[in-house]
Chains A and B, each alone.
Chain A
């Protein structure tokens, strides 16, 4: 059997009759070039000015050229189709533009402040005018890490148990809780900070601390984890639950032994999304964590720095050095969040294990 396969391959080549031919591709590229040329001529000859004019004229031209070309090639239906797809491609470009531009700006401005000492020292002894090879953001790294961990420890069990209640146990409270969780995910982050400030910091502890920051972040994290986990659990087919129960499992045994393990990778993704949601949160931390300049490993006492706070503070100093520090901080924070999303993707992707 296996010996025959090369022969067959040699006789019949795999083709893609539906793919555009070289000529059609050339025509497509020609259309774009023509539209670019036309844009320059039209803008040059008319009173139009600015980048927006170029973009608008180009869009109009490319749509009409594609329309005519598709009409000549395949008829009116294909021509109409080309309008929609050209608009879709244009939409994608318009969406990507700000993202790419932001990433470029952050990298471009962040790289001057990227020094190794960023990761080894804090700003305890350094002022805004100090050169970039002194001081660092270790306190922000440590503080963000501690507060996000506190938030995670609180919201992981609460969020997942809420999702289990909503999808598995169900009851009279399902609808109000679902409504509440949905509204909570829309709560502005400063409200979470104000709540902790007025409910715990003012009446009880009197001073800001990392623990309070963790509490405020947990308020923001719970709805994200609960909603994402709910969606994940809803995807688990009903027959698995029935099979578990039919084997003599109680509901809780079925949930813990069958449903949750089956949803494991999705639940991990939910948690990572929750972390990414709060890692860059600024407003509540400004209110309740104090935002110190020294590394503080004790979440129960003393101000604690964080990435967003560090960035905000460095910007407000306004000196060239501190602005460079701020951009470097943004760059590192962004890298960390990217790393989280990529981890979520990788862990969420191993669903079809064999």
Chain B
């Protein structure tokens, strides 16, 4: 796998990466039921339609990568999934997001419960500056006022799953800001795991990181994917090929962003059905 990642970004190498990743994942992943369904999602900023009619199913226990050029609405799309879209002034949306069969936009829904189930990791690592590493991991419990029997166990478990435990176990009372960028991002992943989400949204989690940290986070994603649904937005197609089971390609031709094609990652990178997808994954544009 490491050999193939070092090759040039050509269609054949990407598809081989995807194939290698798929075979490595064994067949344990895949259909365990639909975790999250997006139905006809539209999104607006003010009067501007930025996303048009996106429908996508995310299967439990899989990783779905969303790729596409900047400004095609990938981030906006995943922000509609945990109702973060509504934080932007002037934002509007249409469509349904079904979590375990219920629309998260149904009136009367407790939005904080939705966000507990659908966690999020942001593009820029954003540990809470006033908190220590341990407090950062457990911040979600404090914020949502959840009780757990043993905080120390949870702390260790989350840091282990995020692949950070061995690096920070002796300095849990240091401030989060004292970690390197890659460690901070893994701290943010650990933080989102502590409230036990079913689904984890990752908005370009590695775009601010060096290759080494990126690799660590990709390993983390692979380890997490057996137990949860992961949706990752990425500009790095190698990364999409390496970590995901399914890939969706978004594109905007100047107008609103649309979902051009979605399918198994190995298919998207080796035999895309749409010529635009092929052009994008082979690096002819974008």
Interface residues of A (CB under 8 A from B): 237, 239-240, 242-250, 253-254, 257-258, 261-262, 264, 353-354
CB < 8 Å neighbour of B84 from A246, A261, A262, A354: A246
Contacts of B126 in A (CB 8 A): 237, 239-240, 242-243
Residues of B whose CB lies within 8 Å of any CB of A are 82, 84, 87, 112-113, 115-116, 119-120, 122, 124, 126, 128-131, 139-140, 142-145, 174-175, 177-178, 188, 191-192, 195
Q: Are A354 and B178 in contact (CB under 8 A)?
A: yes
Please report the C-alpha to C-alpha distance between residue A262 and residue B178 in the assembled complex, in whole angstroms. 15
Residue of chain A at shortest CB distance from B142: A257
18 interchain pairs, CB-CB under 8 A: A242-B122, A243-B122, A243-B188, A243-B191, A245-B84, A246-B84, A247-B116, A247-B119, A248-B115, A248-B195, A249-B140, A253-B143, A253-B144, A257-B142, A258-B128, A261-B128, A261-B130, A261-B131
Decide yes or no: A258 and B139 within 8 Å by CB, A242-B87, A246-B82, A253-B144 being known contacts: yes
- CB of B139 within 8 A of CB of A239, answer no
CB distance from B235 to the nearest CB of A (A): 19
A243 and B115 contact, CB distance less than 8 A: no
Closest to B125 in A: A239
Cβ-defined contact, A249 with B144, below 8 A? yes
B87, A257: Cβ atoms closer than 8 Å: no
Q: Once bound together, how far apart are the Cα atoms of A242 and B122, in whole Å?
A: 9
For B144, the chain A residues whose CB sits under 8 A away are: 247-249, 253
For A262, the chain B residues whose CB sits under 8 A away are 128-130
Q: Is the Cβ of A239 less than 8 Å from the Cβ of B122? A: yes
Contacts of A257 in B (CB 8 A): 139, 142-143
User: What 8 additional pairs, Cβ within 8 angstroms, besides A242-B126, A253-B145?
Assistant: A246-B82, A246-B84, A247-B115, A247-B192, A249-B112, A258-B130, A353-B175, A354-B178
Q: Which B residue's beta carbon lies closest to that of A258?
A: B128
**Do A248 and B113 form a contact, CB below 8 Å, given A243-B126, A253-B143, A354-B175?**
yes
- B residues within 8 A CB of A354? 174-175, 177-178
A243 & B112 in contact (Cβ 8 Å cutoff) = no
Contact pick for A247, options B87, B177, B195, CB 8 Å: B195
| Contacting residues, chain B, for A249 (C-beta < 8 A) | 112, 140, 143-144
Main DSSP-derived SS at the A contact region: helix
Residue of B nearest to A351 (CB): B129
Contact A247-B84, Cβ < 8 Å, known A258-B128, A262-B129, A354-B174: no
Q: Which of B82, B122, B139 has the most CB of A within 10 A?
A: B139
Residue of A nearest to B87 (CB): A242
Q: Are B119 and A245 in contact (CB under 8 A)?
A: no
* A257→B45 CA distance, assembly (Å): 30
List of 10 A-B pairs having minimum Cβ-Cβ separation, nearest first: A249-B143, A248-B116, A261-B130, A247-B140, A248-B144, A246-B120, A239-B126, A354-B178, A248-B115, A243-B126
Residues on the B chain within 8 Å of A248, using CB: 112-113, 115-116, 140, 143-144, 195
B112 / chain A contacts, CB cutoff of 8 Å: 248-250
Which of chain B's residues have a CB closer than 8 A to the CB of A242? 84, 87, 122, 126
| Residue in A239, A247, A249 with the greatest tally of chain B CB atoms within 10 Å | A247
B128 touches A240 (CB 8 A): yes
Chain A residues lying within 8 Å of B188, measured Cβ to Cβ, are: 243
A186 to chain B, nearest CB (A): 29
Given contacts A253-B143, A261-B130, A262-B129, contact A245 B87 (CB under 8 A): yes
The CA-CA distance from A304 to B144 in the complex, in Å, is 48
List chain A residues, Cβ under 8 A from B140.
247-249
